[in-house]
Amino acid sequence: MAQYESDLKVSAEEMMDFLIQQSIAEIDAHTGKKPSEKNIEQGYRYTYHKKVHGSDCIVTAHAKADREKMELKSEYDDRTIKAEMIYAIKALGENSCHVVYTQNTSQETSSFLAKHIFQKQMKKQFGRVEKYIIEHREKENV
């Protein structure tokens, strides 16, 4: 299990909206189908094809958002790797939240280097997400 925690200068609702929209965009990119937010909140299972080690593979994935718990779960299975990703969001104030990202995979690695790289990548990713949400919030208020 790998985990990353961060305080962000965006509201919990803004973060949840962003994660749901990203899930919809990812599903659309893989399948050409664009589920609604309600579909994601009810749990949306989908499949798509990809190449794994040179051969075709069917990937099964699932995304579910729970606005009451402020949590988004995604699952992924391509028969070589199974993964579960969970974003848990806690409001800290009007424009701040604490996010815990947990990633469980069937091919866990416990090396110090792998954990360090994961932490560094997540810090960058969360920084970009925070910046994106703030920039779009400011554009909407203009």
* Banded pLDDT at 141 (limits 50, 70, 90): low
pLDDT tens digits for 33-66? 999 999 999 999 999 988 877 778 889 999 999 9
Identity of residue 27 = I
- Report the sign of the C-alpha dihedral through residues 135, 117, 88, 24, in that order: positive
The set of long-range contacts for 23-27, using a CB threshold of 8 Å and a minimum separation of 24, is 23/63, 23/65, 23/72, 23/74, 26/63, 27/61, 27/63
Q: Domains, the chain, ranges and CATH?
A: 2-140 (3.30.530.20)
Give yes or no for residue 90 having a pLDDT over 90.
yes
Instruction: Kindly report the pTM of this predicted structure.
Output: 0.89
